[in-house]
Structure 1
Amino acid sequence: MAVVSVPMWNDVDVDALCSGARVVAFDLDNTLARSKKPMKDDMAERFSLLTTLIPVAVVSGGKYALVTSQITDCLTAGANRFHLHLMPTSGTRYYRWDGRDWEQVFARDLSDEDRAKAIESLERNAKAQGIWSDAPWGERIEDRGSQITFSALGQNAPVEAKEAWDPTNEKKNRLAQAVADDLPHLAVRSGGSTSVDISARGIDKSFAVRELARILDIDVHQIIFVGDRMDPDGNDYPAAVAGTRAVRVTGPADTVMLCDDIIECLRAQVG
């Protein structure tokens, strides 16, 4: 994978960032909202306003239900849902607004055999490495059809516990490597704060942004991509490598301020 340097949001020339951009795409957890939590009002207001100015995409490793509870349920009345592109499970599923509801356009699911092998490998290796929690908050392994996700502390673990569990990413990366050795034909990568994701090879956020560009008949470089996991081991980094105008944030508070700058710039372009 090529090495790409991704600038922090406050080091970006916003005029250059927005010039010629056709879409603004966001990671979800710790970019638009805290893990498993809905967008706060200030973020929801900016996000909704942005949809009236430019197409907006959400590219998340999480399942569709989380995109609904964290994003679409929080939209303001003025949001342009027709401008929204929802790509959960790293873009293996794609949803658009049909005027009444969110319609699934496509899903690229793993085979039953691959899902079973992934679940077995995750459990076995997590136990061997001593990171299989005996008292998780919810499911430790979730079958999302197109993606299998391991959450070390459980799907419903408190944000504070998740963020404290593996600040250096060593635990996640070690588990991901062991599972990748078991399943060389699948893509295994470190996900969120406590998660490891497994999907078909070639299915990551680079796949998602390329699919989005294909669907919209634009160049990948015309996509602004905002995410917090822009380190080479992070699940947002492939979107940067794919050629998007990638921007790093450290959390939703950064994203709110970046959105303010982007909105001001887009309004100036229209005006």
Structure 2
Amino acid sequence: MACKSLIIFDLDGTLTLSKSNLSSKMSNLLANLLLIKKVAIVSGGSYKQFQNQFLNHFHCPKQYLKNLFLFPTCSTSFYRYKKGWQKVYEQTLSAMEKDKIFKAFKKMFQELNYKQPEKTYGKIIEDRKSQITFSALGQQAPLELKKTFDSSRKKRLKMKKVLEKYIPEFEIRIGGTTSIDVTRKGIDKAYAIEQIGKYLQVSKKEMLFIGDALFEGGNDWPVKKTGVECVQVSGPERCMEVINRLIKE
């Protein structure tokens, strides 16, 4: 791994627990990693989620931030640090596309006779500009509750199948523990790798991807198609072990 110049991380379940804040221990390790490597973070989450979950809890000297690159919503937007975090680009769904997706969710709920939980935490369906995300318990649901909702993914697979009938022209992916993401076709972590390579001018041989969902069907799985070397982790603790190895090499 010593030959890798760019380390790419997933966010949820990798650098942090699902929808949880970055720990001080992880913050310190990443700061040390930025001294010797470029670091990109790619996630289905919005830039606002990156701010709340990551940036507000990441502490390092400002000069290190030139080596940190953020790719929210599966790289349909890109932010880099130049006297503050600057947006390089952002792709967005049109009003017509969003309307079609929202209507498809409504039809799917009716067809499956789906009843929302009595108590929810934040928005159930969130407009992330380039992506529409359904979170069964709400965006801010406690992790312990989320873990028990659909651990087998059977509920969401059934929802996905119905959605595909109504909006076949869109990409529909199961993400996290309770969510379904809808984007334009071809927007996945493989697309993210292409965008990262293009904008950072780094070859795939120089990249290392670290994520928690590299299994078939997981939202990190498409990275494997690109030929980029990957490391599967089971959460932040295992991720910190990998970062320590990278720093010591």
- Structure 2 counterpart of 1:71: 54
Deviation for aligned residue 1:112:
0.9
Aligned residues: 247
Deviation for aligned residue 1:181:
2.1
Aligned to 1:119, what secondary structure does the other structure show? helix
- The answer on 1:255 being equivalent to 2:247 is no
Aligned to 1:122, what secondary structure does the other structure show? helix
Percent of matched pairs sharing the same residue? 31
- Structure 1 counterpart of 2:16: 33
Deviation for aligned residue 1:86:
0.3
Q: In 1, distance between residues paired with 2:152 and 2:206?
A: 32
- The answer on 1:205 being equivalent to 2:189 is yes
- The answer on 1:24 being equivalent to 2:24 is no
- Structure 2 counterpart of 1:181: 165
Over the aligned positions, Cα root-mean-square deviation in angstroms equals 1.4
Q: Structure 1, unaligned stretches of length 5 or more?
A: 1-17, 266-271
Give the alignment partner of residue 246 of structure 1, picking from 224, 230, 245.
230
Deviation for aligned residue 1:131:
5.4
Change (3 A) 1:219 1:77: closer
Deviation for aligned residue 1:262:
1.1
Give the alignment partner of residue 57 of structure 1, picking from 27, 36, 40.
40
- The answer on 1:115 being equivalent to 2:82 is no
Q: In 2, distance between residues paired with 1:233 and 1:127?
A: 26
Q: Structure 2, unaligned stretches of length 5 or more?
A: none
Deviation for aligned residue 1:237:
0.9
- The answer on 1:220 being equivalent to 2:204 is yes
Aligned to 2:70, what secondary structure does the other structure show? strand
Deviations 1:143-171 (A, max 9, x none): 01100000011111000111111111112
Contact 2:171 2:182 in 1 (8 A): yes
Contact 2:4 2:207 in 1 (8 A): yes
- Structure 2 counterpart of 1:4: none
Aligned to 2:69, what secondary structure does the other structure show? strand
